Chain A
Amino acid sequence: MLSKILLLIGITMMYSTPLVFGALGGVISERSGVVNIGIEGMMTVGAFAAAAVSYFTGNPWLGLLAAGAAGGAIALLHAIASVTFKADQTISGIAINFIGPGLALFFCRLMFSKATMTPPAKTLPKIFGEDFFQGSPAGNLNVDVTVVLALVCAAVMWYFLYKTKWGLRVLSVGEHPAAADTLGINVSRTRYLCVLVSGVLAGFGGASMTLAIISQFTPTAISGQGFIALAAVIFGKWTPFGAYGACLLFGFAQALTIVLGGGDYAVPSQILAMLPYVLTIIVLIFFVGRSVAPKADGVPYEKGQR
């Protein structure tokens, strides 16, 4: 029983981590007033960059950095479209979801002789080293280092947004850019930075898939996590810990499916697999209620417009 519970916790952590990074990326971008539907695409690019760089250099940490850089580079496109050109942010985000996976698979085929997956890459370490707890049930708690990184990122973002003046500036830009502008805050620059950070975080999310959970990039490595992260942002009411909690809930439901799917129970695995999604809807109906986006979310800022 104890080992099952520990296993449940371990898997919850494992599955929620890529989502946490993606969702945090969504939070920072949307809090500054830019809707980011392209998290999925940014995560895919990150996932590929991480696996490829780790494979070629043998250093997974370089892979992680590359993933952040790649995610940020794609996010730059989104920032140019939505801030400089004041384009429709939803459309640009959907474009990112095509361009990201397209580029990832395109380069994958170029670099790895037409294959759509990379060879196995060196992964990031576990928090207590490989052999710690080996064999004992507590080994389930020896989670990937990315799990801790994700929690740290959530805490840092919370502190940044609510306890520093730069964070409060970001919030003001997302709520009322005109007011922020009159107080001398550079709305465009703030939004650019937030979208870039969002891409970097989403890239990390992709990396925590290919450098921790599976050790290579495949076309289905990122399949829907970006969208789940998007849902977690709304679910968590656009706050770092809210989104973190939403991702944990989601990871927990997924873990439940795996632990329950062990064969002791007479529930078909496909029905069990629906559990996380059904659970999310139920939780929304009964516990969360209406969520209100930052006021200027998705609205391009035009100087002098009322």
Chain B
Amino acid sequence: MKTLVKVLKKPITSTLIAILCGFLVAAIVLVLAGYNPVSSFAALFKGIFAKPKYISNVIIKATPIILTGLSVAFAFKTGLFNIGAEGQYIVGTVAAVCVGVKLDLPPVFQILIVVLSGVLAGAIFGGIVGLLKARFGIHEVITSIMLNWIAFYLSNYIVALPAYHQPNSTSSLPVNESSFTMLLPKWKVSEEGMAALKPNKWLYEVMVKTDVNFGILVAAVMAVIIWILLYRSTKGYELRAVGFNSDAAEFAGISVSRNLVQAMLIAGALSGLAGALAITGTAPHRISQMAAFENNGFNGLSVALIAGSSPIGCIFAGLLFGGLLYGGQSVQQEVGAPTEIINIMIGTIVFFVALTRVVPVLADKLEKRGARHAK
């Protein structure tokens, strides 16, 4: 009994229950629509794990949403709802492309400058939101939604500019090769590289057929840094105090408005980083005309929610999410069920994440009842 209560109280238990419910509801929808859920899920898992290149692609797909998830989670901890991760991500890609196309320095400097310009652009977009909230009391949700669209059209504008446009296409020019952050990109194209990779089938597939890049390492390191910042630093204490009770924080001598702006700067920088790394790390290393949002930021919202706003949790939630999104494509190819079943599944998981927050409360009640019986 005691162990049961202990297990139920762990946040991870609630999350796992939610994920299970997501699969269950998806199975029910599939049955109702006349598809076999077992073979659908088999196709999903095959699409994630069957080949090394699939696993590699899942990680690549997860990288940006881990970072935008981190951005949203960090803002949540400071009491802000960063629905603007989408726009911050977009300006991150735009800035990286603008700088990466025009500049051609030796690789390490080039990468640093290109990535930093993306980070800066995201931080500016986030900072505007924080500033408007601190200075004029404008709700961060409105400004973020507006800035998402401004970023969207800004990106389409830059793509169409003659200075950046790739003729006869709907895309911009790709960034210079010196900005690439893939793992040993030269090996793919040189004979010695291919010769070195050939003997190891696993490595060959991952290295040659996918864009293995350093992004995931950066994302993991950032998750740890954000955790330290939030829980092991004075600044983090201030930020969390503002998030928990801004009146009490103000009374304790913490400047609420300054912390608001700083929190949004950091949150924006994280989303901008996600955008910049997507440009430097994965083909086609360019931005294209968008007809609708590509959801790298909005998916970050769900990642943060599934992770319960835990920075480290974002890594796992991002991987889960990347897996579902990538593996979901094979469901349609192999079973014929519409890919949207994945969206329904993700939605259901998030929905049950909201519901299962009551599990620890129930566990508490169970414990109390147990204590009464013991007497």
B-binding residues in A (CB < 8 A)? 77, 81, 85-92, 94-103, 105-106, 109-110, 114, 219-220, 223-224, 227-228, 230-231, 234-235, 268, 270-271, 273-274, 276-278, 280-281, 284-285, 288-291
B293 beta carbon closer than 8 Å to chain A: yes
B73 beta carbon closer than 8 Å to chain A: no
Least distance between A156 CB and chain B CB atoms (Å): 26
Q: List 7 A-B contacts (CB under 8 A).
A: A95-B353, A95-B354, A106-B29, A227-B83, A230-B141, A284-B143, A285-B138
Mask for B177-202, Cβ within 8 A of A = 1, else 0? 00000000000000000000000000
Segment with Cβ contacts to A, from B111-119, B149-157, B365-373: B149-157
Chain B residues, CB < 8 A from A85: 354-355, 358
Least distance between A108 CB and chain B CB atoms (Å): 8
Chain A residues, CB < 8 A from B149: 224, 274, 276-277
Least distance between A217 CB and chain B CB atoms (Å): 13
Listed residue (B153, B298, B305) with the most chain A CB atoms within 10 angstroms of its CB: B153
Least distance between A127 CB and chain B CB atoms (Å): 30
How many Å lie between the Cα of A86 and that of B292 in the bound state?
34
Is there an interface contact between B344 and A220, defined as CB atoms closer than 8 Å? no
Closest to B149 in A: A277
Is there an interface contact between B156 and A270, defined as CB atoms closer than 8 Å? yes
Is there an interface contact between B147 and A277, defined as CB atoms closer than 8 Å? yes
Tell me the chain B residues, 335-375 only, with Cβ under 8 Å from chain A.
Answer: 338, 340-344, 346-351, 353-355, 357-358
Closest to A99 in B: B347
The residue from A91, A97, A106 contacting B353, defined by CB atoms under 8 A apart = A91
The residue from A103, A230, A270, A284 contacting B138, defined by CB atoms under 8 A apart = A284
Least distance between A214 CB and chain B CB atoms (Å): 14
How many Å lie between the Cα of A49 and that of B238 in the bound state?
48
Is there an interface contact between B302 and A94, defined as CB atoms closer than 8 Å? yes
Chain A residues, CB < 8 A from B341: 102, 106
Is there an interface contact between B81 and A102, defined as CB atoms closer than 8 Å? no
Is there an interface contact between B340 and A109, defined as CB atoms closer than 8 Å? yes
A-binding residues in B (CB < 8 A)? 29, 33, 81, 83, 132, 136-139, 141-143, 145-150, 153-154, 156-157, 160, 291-293, 298, 301-302, 305, 338, 340-344, 346-351, 353-355, 357-358
Is there an interface contact between B344 and A95, defined as CB atoms closer than 8 Å? no
How many Å lie between the Cα of A103 and that of B340 in the bound state?
7
The residue from B83, B154, B156, B344 contacting A102, defined by CB atoms under 8 A apart = B344
Is there an interface contact between A95 and B347, defined as CB atoms closer than 8 Å? yes
Closest to A87 in B: B354
Is there an interface contact between A270 and B340, defined as CB atoms closer than 8 Å? no
Is there an interface contact between B354 and A234, defined as CB atoms closer than 8 Å? no
Is there an interface contact between B293 and A223, defined as CB atoms closer than 8 Å? yes
Is there an interface contact between A98 and B354, defined as CB atoms closer than 8 Å? no
Chain A residues, CB < 8 A from B340: 101-103, 105-106, 109
Is there an interface contact between B354 and A228, defined as CB atoms closer than 8 Å? no
Is there an interface contact between A81 and B139, defined as CB atoms closer than 8 Å? no
How many Å lie between the Cα of A194 and that of B298 in the bound state?
27
Is there an interface contact between A284 and B142, defined as CB atoms closer than 8 Å? yes
Is there an interface contact between A277 and B348, defined as CB atoms closer than 8 Å? no
The 10 A-B residue pairs with the shortest CB-CB distance in the complex, in nearest-first order:
A98-B347, A102-B343, A99-B347, A290-B137, A95-B351, A270-B157, A87-B354, A91-B354, A95-B350, A102-B344
Given contacts A91-B354, A277-B150, whether A234 and B142 have CB atoms under 8 Å apart is: yes
Is there an interface contact between B347 and A102, defined as CB atoms closer than 8 Å? yes
